[in-house]
Amino acid sequence: MSLYRNRSIDKSTQASQAMHSRMRKPITSERVCYDDASGELYKSNLRASGRKRPGQKSTTTNTTITTKRRRLYLVRRRTESRSSCRRQSMRGLYKLATTTRGAMLLQQLIICVVATYLCHWSPHMAQAQTVAAQSTSGNEQPFVFQHNQQERDSDYWLQSGRSALESALKWQPIEEQAKNLIIFIGDGMSLSTITAARILHGQLNNKSGEEDQLAFEQLNNVALIKTYNIDQQVPDSAATATAILTGVKANFYTLGVNGNVRLNDTKCQKIRDNQVNSILKWAQEAGKSTGIVTNTRITHATPAAGYAHVSNRRWECDTNVPRNLEEPCKDIARQLIEDEPGSKLNVIMGGGRRCFFGQNFIDPGPTGQMGMRQDQRNLIEQWIAQRRANNEMNYAFVNSTSDLKSVKTDKTDYLLGLFSYSHMSYEELRDTSGYGEPSLTEMTETALKILARNPLGYVLLVEGGRIDHAHHENVAGVALRETISLSWAVQAARQLINERDTLIAVTSDHAHALTINGIAPRGNPILGLSRYKENSTQLPYTTLIYGNGPGNQRPRANPTIGPNSTDSPYYVQYAAIHQEEAFHDGSDVAIFASGPFAHLFQGVQEQSYIAHVFAYALCVGDYQWKAHCRRSPSQANNPLRPINSNDLNDGLDGTGPGRLDQTFDASQQLSSFSSGDNSNNNNAALGRSFGHSNAGANNNRNSLWPRSGASSVSDYTGLSLARHWLAWMTTLTMTTLTVAMVMQPSRNYQFSLAPTT
């Protein structure tokens, strides 16, 4: 399209216009923008400078998406397209070249290379291009997959099989005592969820998808796990998490108790008499550090199974505890702060601030809602007071990404992070600014750096809990992206540990009724349509379908038109049976493991078996006197060495150092730190920042370092001089480019979602 709009002009002016044609300025240009949220193309008639014409009304509006459980609004973000960014860089360099010489030439070359790289990638660009190619103006285009020609030959598969066999024959189990344990739980992560997420991950990286692998699928040992509860064929998260963490199966909806306690038992003494201890409690008794990281409420079912004992998982706050009890029972939030093992956890990170302060306290987050506690307790202040009373002065409380990044992990022994009023946001909806919420990967990295300072080891529980929530709403696209987010956290953890002495396990508490069907061709978009149509309606249907849930619509909408298009990232998949909220699935789930005694995960096992392998490998609980439970002389006499940047990348195969260890000095626990003024139990004491650190943390909300992504883990601790130079050079480059701009580039409009009040 021409940059200039043709106008009818009389011949008398043609000559003069020809003389000054080089001086003629563009009048208007028609710009085509892609809306990532709605999957539609729209046009806007703007000046070439990018400004609106006088009197022109803005064509962008806030679009509200309403679901049963939340309201979401679209926040427009603008990112430079690759081509326009390159054009902008080159034209700026051309102008610089006409005014500078000699020494400037080298600087210009560096600017060109770095600027092109910086503008090359946008996290949504590949997805937007894929979606735009799938559908234009509501007309579905046939998908054509370009086959790898090597796959057609027998030799390709024979060689692939031989390579896999050779790798399996070389693998040797590790039968030495584990020092550390990392447990990843993908809530609701069924086998079909893993398969679909694997395909989506591959397709987002320009592959057909089926041949791809998630990070935890690369772990050597795999077993199937039976998930039923004592009294339920199809389980819930509370009882299944209890089985995973305590080694004892429980009744539906109960937490941290055995089968003698049934749902809504009102006898608190009975609950106490039948409580069961978790792997976190056993680890603390062995002197290890412990921590919990989740993107749900920290008092939700899965994390609470590690420290709480109740007859109903809904007792997260005293408001939810029934009044007809024979005696007062502690709610889950109080048990976390007041009782062991919760009170001794070194790291606690997640959402759910609402159950930690009273109804007279306003949450400092964007919701502006009041607390939920009827007893008006401020459990955050209580946690801080408890640290001081125990002379545990190296603590920090944080409530935002910038606060978390400012924590000095080499000097912090206790960290409490509550980043949202209720559950934390889906990864796709997360506010990525310093005032927003950290990712699951960022929380996992910080937790490991704190826990690894203990020479006796640690146990860390990490939950990707929003997978389950998206499945409950039949929003498969979000569930798959949450699964990929969990995979990123696993990848980050593996780069921070030595798998020679660290057992890492990834599993799910239960399944969801998601199916992959329809005889879709190879490479077909996993969130797209099947090859065939439904017999009764002759409407196309999606490859992913749920057994039950809110996606059951009568009459069923056409999934290729308008707001019902599968191109939408929040498309609600079709469900066979209507339910206001989708139920769980009773199918077996997988466990993937690597490290000491990971080979014990084999065959089909009860879910309660998992905790026994954990305890046996760590030599804790009932297994602390087994034959392998002795430390080698090198482990007993060799103090932990300081961390360096190589620790973050080595040792993935168990042969290198690769251990995130630092010199442990007990005297550091009582070293001097600036004491924050938190004596006031009011809103001012926990103000808008809502952050408190007693570990000398710097609350600067600006950072040079990028947040962690899918393919790399940021090294915050041992940056070399070259990396420092690159960071400052990038800043200098962007400043220079701003000055060098000679034209306003075209922009793509990109949308992200954030929760409203």
CA 451 to chain CA mean position, Å: 20
266 annotated to bind ligand: no
Cβ neighbours of residue 495 under 8 Å, at least 6 residues apart?
Answer: 648, 649, 652, 713
Residue (of 402, 443, 436) closest to 298 by Cα position: 443
How many angstroms separate the CA atoms of 342 and 331, rounded?
13
155 annotated to bind ligand: no
Cα–Cα distance list, 687 to 74, 362, 365, 392 (Å): 28, 10, 10, 23
413 annotated to bind ligand: no
300 annotated to bind ligand: yes
CB 620 within 8 A of CB 290: no
SS3 label, residue 544 = strand
Dig out the tokens for 603 from the structure: 């065959």
584 annotated to bind ligand: yes
Beta strands, E only, 39-190: 40-46, 64-66, 71-80, 135-136, 139-140, 180-186
For residue 237, give the H/E element and its range: helix 237-246
472 annotated to bind ligand: yes
Q: Is 736 left (phi over 0), alpha (psi -120 to 50) or beta?
A: alpha
Dig out the tokens for 387 from the structure: 């640290």
Residue (of 86, 88, 85, 92) closest to 107 by Cα position: 92
Q: In DSSP terms, which residues pair with 350 in a beta bridge?
A: 418
Residue (of 39, 35, 40, 29) closest to 6 by Cα position: 29
For residue 384, give the H/E element and its range: helix 379-389
- Contacts made by residues 728-736, CB under 8 angstroms, sequence distance 24+: 728/704, 729/110, 729/114, 730/114, 730/118, 731/704, 733/110, 733/111, 733/114, 733/115, 733/118, 734/118, 736/107, 736/111
302 annotated to bind ligand: yes
Q: 388-407 in b/e burial notation, b at 16+ Cβ within 10 A?
A: eeeebbbbbbbbbbbbbbbb
692 annotated to bind ligand: no
Identified catalytic residue from 237, 311, 565, 714: 237
Could you confirm whether 237 is annotated as catalytic? Answer: yes
How many angstroms separate the CA atoms of 420 and 429, rounded?
13
468 annotated to bind ligand: yes
In this structure, which amino acid lies at residue 330?
Answer: K
Annotated binding site for Mg(2+): 187, 300, 302, 463
Binding residues: 187, 300, 302, 463, 468, 472, 509-510, 584
Q: Which residues are catalytic?
A: 237
Annotated binding-site members for Zn(2+):
187, 468, 472, 509-510, 584
